[in-house]
């Protein structure tokens, strides 16, 4: 509300508190007159800048006269077009009409002199702009003759004969020009000007283009909404009073859409109704600019809004980059740790150590790998290992098992950690059989590897070790015995302990068990897993 109050104080003049039908009618007349005066000031100011830059001093005096006269006319309108003043003393409107008529006559006369003086130079743009200035002055006069008379009648004054009849001024209608061609996007930003009056669009387009902005034009609210739906826009200058979808409705739709709500919007209007201004700010408008535009204030408001847009864009890019880096870190973390463990670490858990009463551990190893690696080129060796271990990774994911680590040509997998599952032994057994088939496929394609597999089931301790390089690992006799089973397994065989056999014997087929003397364990009963029950050998 502080911001809205500031806009009211700086931009709103007399008459803003009268929202009666008569007060709104006065506001509409004031809006129309300001629009016309704004056209005079806007085009005259640009011509004056050009004349000064080009050293055409002979033209500057007349253009300065036009600007002074238009500003005087604007001051009269702001002072006299007040609903309360007109009700209390309609006679004041007579003075305003004379002031507007005199000022309009001075402007048109000055434009006529300029046109004659510059005609030999054959500057068509200059001549067209003079025509616009004269046409806008004449429009202000016509509004004063018709609308002001109506206001006095509406205020209760029946005698309107005292209004001075002003003879027609020079019959010099403004030349209608095509909208300026849109220039390529520049570093200054893309600005969309939305206004139903061509003169306003043309004036803003030319002034903004001079300052390095790329300007797009929309003649109504519907066209503006269509434009932003498919194009990048850095700022919208949006007229409030337009037929059809007005500026307030356009603003509401822009701010309701996630794709466009970040675009800064500066509202433009000749109206001075405080309620409308405050409403626009509350709906999300970044600023409000009254017509006619003060060039310095216009540029300041535009640059302020564009600066906010640039900061927003930089923040968006930064957040996108941050999210991309976070996603990369997430993928790397999940390549090292199980997802459940990674989540616990991210939540701030410093030490992770868990005991599991029943898991199944698998080890694999390639037969004669040391001999093969000594005679194989490094690139070929690593390529073959990467191919087969990548296939093993996919099999682990398919069976919902956790790869714990690789050590050289050894591969370690566990079922039932870090998330317990009742079928841990069955899942590991299926993985072992699938791994066997994968190695066989590689051998049929000329691969050199034969594989041994060892499996054991029982309790383990699991946790994360390391500070800079994390590792999730398992410890306990269950792990050690599973590793021993791999060592004692025959080439191409899957050797399991009695503990694992007990969990699998109803669903899988085994060769008759035999007792092995295992180092550090003594006599251990083992079985060779050959397939799933019901499968043909």
CATH of residue 365's domain is 3.30.70.1230
Per-residue model confidence (pLDDT) at position 361: 98
Per-residue model confidence (pLDDT) at position 279: 85
- Looking at the fold, whether 153 and 269 belong to one and the same domain comes out as no
Stretch among 16-20, 87-91, 401-405 having the lowest mean pLDDT: 16-20
- Looking at the fold, whether 61 and 191 belong to one and the same domain comes out as no
Bigger pLDDT: 78 vs 150: 78
Instruction: Give residue 425's pLDDT band: very low, low, confident or very high (50, 70, 90).
Output: very high
Bigger pLDDT: 82 vs 340: 340
Bigger pLDDT: 216 vs 102: 216
In a domain, residue 183? The reply is yes
Instruction: Give residue 71's pLDDT band: very low, low, confident or very high (50, 70, 90).
Output: confident
Bigger pLDDT: 307 vs 361: 361
Maximum mean pLDDT: which of 30-39, 98-107, 195-204, 393-402 = 393-402
pLDDT in tens, 477-490: 999 999 999 999 99
In a domain, residue 24? The reply is yes
Query: Would you mind telling me the total number of residues written for the chain in this entry?
Result: 537
Residue finishing a domain among 272, 300, 334 = 334
Per-residue model confidence (pLDDT) at position 18: 58
Q: Is the pLDDT of residue 82 over 80?
A: no
Instruction: Give residue 310's pLDDT band: very low, low, confident or very high (50, 70, 90).
Output: confident
- Output the six-digit token pair for 144: 């004063």
- Output the six-digit token pair for 394: 């996919």
Handedness of CA 434, 412, 489, 482 (dihedral sign): negative
The CB density around residue 81, as the number of other CB atoms within 10 Å, is 26
Instruction: Give residue 14's pLDDT band: very low, low, confident or very high (50, 70, 90).
Output: very low
Q: Is the pLDDT of residue 53 over 80?
A: yes
Mean pLDDT of 74-85: 80
Per-residue model confidence (pLDDT) at position 403: 93
pLDDT in tens, 264-285: 999 887 666 667 778 888 888 9
Mean pLDDT of 249-262: 92
In terms of Cα–Cα distance, which of 418, 404, 452, 458 is closest to 432?
452
Residue finishing a domain among 171, 203, 223 = 171
- Looking at the fold, whether 122 and 187 belong to one and the same domain comes out as no
- Looking at the fold, whether 58 and 167 belong to one and the same domain comes out as yes
In terms of Cα–Cα distance, which of 415, 423, 379 is closest to 396?
415
Per-residue model confidence (pLDDT) at position 222: 93
- Looking at the fold, whether 297 and 343 belong to one and the same domain comes out as no
- Looking at the fold, whether 213 and 312 belong to one and the same domain comes out as yes
In a domain, residue 537? The reply is no
Maximum mean pLDDT: which of 28-32, 40-44, 190-194 = 190-194
Across the chain, what does the average pLDDT equal?
81
Maximum mean pLDDT: which of 1-15, 47-61, 94-108, 226-240 = 226-240
In a domain, residue 8? The reply is yes
Per-residue model confidence (pLDDT) at position 362: 98
Pairing of strands 522-532, 494-497: antiparallel
In a domain, residue 454? The reply is yes
Stretch among 77-86, 198-207, 217-226, 446-455 having the lowest mean pLDDT: 77-86
The CB density around residue 84, as the number of other CB atoms within 10 Å, is 14
In a domain, residue 525? The reply is yes
- Looking at the fold, whether 214 and 358 belong to one and the same domain comes out as no
In a domain, residue 464? The reply is yes
Mean pLDDT of 355-380: 92
Percent of the chain at pLDDT above 90? 33
Per-residue model confidence (pLDDT) at position 19: 62
d(CA 487, CA 461): 22
Q: Is the pLDDT of residue 144 over 80?
A: no
- Assign 381 to helix, strand or coil: helix
- Looking at the fold, whether 119 and 222 belong to one and the same domain comes out as no
Bigger pLDDT: 177 vs 86: 86
Question: In what order do the strands lie in the sheet containing 214-218?
Answer: 214-218, 190-194, 235-239, 265-269, 287-290
Judging by beta carbons within 10 Å of its beta carbon (0-12, 13-18, 19+), is residue 445 exposed, middle or buried? exposed
Per-residue model confidence (pLDDT) at position 152: 64
pLDDT in tens, 444-479: 887 788 999 999 999 999 998 887 777 889 999 999
Q: Domain containing 438: what range?
A: 339-532
Mean pLDDT of 383-411: 93
Pairing of strands 265-269, 508-518: unpaired
Mean pLDDT of 358-384: 92
Handedness of CA 120, 124, 129, 135 (dihedral sign): positive
CATH number of the domain enclosing 299: 3.40.50.2300
Instruction: Give residue 342's pLDDT band: very low, low, confident or very high (50, 70, 90).
Output: confident
pLDDT in tens, 157-201: 433 433 333 333 333 333 333 333 333 334 468 899 999 988 888
DSSP state of 156: T
- Looking at the fold, whether 166 and 204 belong to one and the same domain comes out as no
> What per-residue string of b and e applies to 161-185 under the rule 16 or more CB within 10 Å gives b?
eebeebeebeebebeeeeeeeeeee
Residue finishing a domain among 149, 171, 193 = 171
- Looking at the fold, whether 99 and 157 belong to one and the same domain comes out as yes
DSSP state of 178: P
In a domain, residue 53? The reply is yes
- Looking at the fold, whether 68 and 135 belong to one and the same domain comes out as yes
Total domain count for the chain?
3
d(CA 355, CA 350): 17
Instruction: Give residue 397's pLDDT band: very low, low, confident or very high (50, 70, 90).
Output: very high
CATH number of the domain enclosing 156: 1.20.58
CA distance readout (Å), 81 to 34, 35, 85, 283, 319: 11, 14, 8, 29, 51
- Looking at the fold, whether 374 and 466 belong to one and the same domain comes out as yes
DSSP state of 519: T
Per-residue model confidence (pLDDT) at position 156: 56
DSSP state of 62: H
Per-residue model confidence (pLDDT) at position 88: 73
Per-residue model confidence (pLDDT) at position 501: 96
Q: Is the pLDDT of residue 57 over 60?
A: yes
> To the nearest 10°, the Cα dihedral for 250, 252, 253, 256?
160
């Amino acid at each position: 509300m502080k911001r809205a109050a500031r806009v009211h104080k700086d931009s709103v003049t007399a008459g803003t508190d009268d929202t009666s039908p008569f007060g709104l009618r006065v506001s509409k007349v004031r809006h129309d007159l300001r629009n016309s005066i704004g056209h005079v000031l806007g085009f005259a100011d640009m011509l004056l800048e050009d004349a000064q830059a080009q050293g055409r001093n002979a033209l500057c005096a007349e253009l300065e006269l036009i600007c002074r006269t238009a500003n005087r006319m604007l001051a009269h309108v702001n002072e006299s077009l007040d609903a309360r003043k007109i009700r209390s003393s309609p006679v004041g409107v007579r003075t305003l009409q004379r002031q507007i008529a005199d000022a309009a006559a001075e402007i048109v006369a000055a434009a006529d002199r300029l046109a004659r003086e510059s005609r030999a130079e054959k500057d068509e743009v200059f001549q067209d702009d003079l025509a616009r200035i004269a046409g806008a002055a004449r429009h202000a006069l016509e509004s004063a003759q018709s609308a002001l008379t109506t206001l006095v009648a509406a205020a209760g004054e029946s005698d309107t004969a005292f209004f001075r009849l002003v003879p027609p001024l020079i019959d010099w209608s403004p030349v209608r020009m095509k909208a300026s061609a849109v220039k390529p996007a520049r570093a200054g930003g893309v600005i969309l000007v939305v206004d139903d009056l061509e003169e306003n669009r043309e004036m803003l387009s030319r002034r903004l283009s001079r300052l390095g902005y790329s300007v797009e034009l929309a003649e109504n609210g519907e066209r503006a909404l269509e434009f932003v739906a498919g194009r990048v826009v850095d700022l919208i200058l949006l007229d409030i009073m337009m037929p059809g979808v007005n500026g307030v409705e356009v603003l509401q739709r822009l701010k309701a859409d996630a794709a466009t709500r970040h675009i800064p919007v500066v509202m433009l209007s000749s109206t001075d109704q405080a309620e409308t201004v405050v409403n626009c700010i509350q709906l999300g408008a970044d600023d409000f600019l009254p017509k006619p535009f003060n060039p310095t204030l216009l540029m300041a408001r535009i640059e302020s809004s564009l600066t906010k847009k640039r900061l927003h864009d930089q923040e968006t890019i930064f957040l996108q980059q941050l999210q991309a880096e976070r996603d990369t870190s997430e993928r790397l973390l999940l390549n090292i740790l199980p997802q459940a463990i990674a989540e616990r670490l991210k939540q701030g858990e410093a030490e992770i150590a868990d005991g599991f009463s029943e898991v199944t551990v698998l080890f694999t190893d390639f037969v004669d790998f040391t001999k093969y690696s000594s005679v194989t080129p490094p690139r070929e060796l690593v390529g073959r290992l990467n191919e087969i271990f990548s296939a093993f990774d996919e099999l682990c994911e398919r069976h919902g098992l956790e790869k714990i680590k690789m050590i050289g040509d050894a591969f370690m997998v566990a079922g039932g950690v870090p998330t317990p599952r009742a079928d841990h032994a069955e899942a590991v057994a299926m993985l072992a059989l699938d791994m066997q088939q994968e190695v066989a496929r590689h051998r049929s394609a000329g691969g050199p590897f034969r594989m041994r597999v060892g499996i054991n089931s029982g309790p383990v301790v699991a946790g994360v070790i390391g500070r800079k390089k994390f590792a999730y690992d398992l410890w306990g006799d269950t792990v050690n015995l599973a590793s021993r089973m791999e060592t004692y397994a025959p080439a191409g065989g899957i050797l399991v302990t009695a503990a694992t056999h007990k969990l699998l014997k109803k669903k899988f087929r085994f060769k008759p068990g035999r007792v092995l003397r295992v180092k550090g364990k003594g006599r251990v009963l083992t079985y060779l897993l050959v397939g799933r029950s019901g499968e043909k050998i």
